[in-house]
A = this chain, B = another copy of it.
Amino acid sequence: MASLIRRVTFQVGQNPADERTLTLSSTSAEGYFISLRPFIQPKESELDFPFEWAFAGPASSAKITEKDELVKAIDFNFEFDTNVQLHKENTHRGEIKTVWKQWESGLVEERGQVFPFGAGKQAIDFFELWQPLDSTRAEFVILNEAHAGQKEPTSVVFSVDKGDFKGLVVTVGKWAQGILFKKEEHSLKGVNFIRAVEQKDGQWKTLLKFGSDADKFPLGFTATKGSTIDSGALAWEVVESNA
């Protein structure tokens, strides 16, 4: 089932836990995923690129192994990774092995290691804690057992990979998040994001829009599977939809 989770804490190595972003990770019913991690109050040095990180990919970019009812391993190998796209130094490359454990309270911990200085060099432990949300609501409503019987949320995925551009947009419930890279442009001119939420009147409210090609995202975020949505200069294919 499609899901929407919000990060509540991030802890790297021996640093104290903190959370400076409004990170939402969306996963479609078929396993397409995207995580946008914008800083809430970017520092001076972060203003040009006010994001901790962003990544996305299809199900094949996240190999999931169920360990038991509450624990699963996910080995990520992102198709979209801003650290790679922007050639950021001292950031991890390749597979990231993580373990996810659901707490009794419903929150989910993620633990893993990254190797920002290269494979075989120093490992950095990280711990992230996630709050599952009801994606069918435009507010942040904590998901709990009362939601167990609710109908499947909307799950729609748009993909483009043509000419200079490569992008993915995942809509889960009322929440849409998108990423678009200009393939050979490894500066800030090469990365674009969008986050939008559907209002009561059915209109999409843009919460976040970044990048010089952000007008190339779809203008609406639901469509039927197999259709093609033109937006600006790009034709987005709808590769998944239950709408």
Q: A9-B9, A9-B129, A127-B17 are in contact. Are A104 and B41 (CB under 8 A)?
A: yes
* A22 touches B (CB below 8 Å): yes
* A154 touches B (CB below 8 Å): no
Say whether B144 contacts A18, CB under 8 Å.
no
Which bucket holds chain A's interface residue count? 20 to 34
Which residues of chain B are near A141, meaning CB under 8 Å? Answer: 139-142
| A11 CB to nearest B CB, Å | 8
Which residues of chain B are near A139, meaning CB under 8 Å? Answer: 141-142, 146
Q: A8-B8, A17-B129 are in contact. Are A22 and B142 (CB under 8 A)?
A: no
* A19 touches B (CB below 8 Å): yes
A-B contact pairs, 9 of them (CB 8 A): A6-B142, A9-B107, A17-B129, A18-B103, A19-B104, A40-B105, A139-B146, A141-B141, A141-B142
Q: A residues bordering B, Cβ < 8 Å?
A: 6, 8-9, 17-22, 39-41, 103-105, 107, 109, 127, 129, 131, 139-142, 144, 146
Given A6-B142, A39-B104, 20 other A-B residues pairs in contact with their CB atoms under 8 A: A8-B8, A8-B105, A9-B107, A17-B17, A17-B109, A17-B129, A18-B103, A19-B103, A19-B104, A20-B103, A20-B104, A20-B105, A22-B105, A40-B104, A40-B105, A131-B131, A139-B141, A139-B142, A140-B141, A142-B142
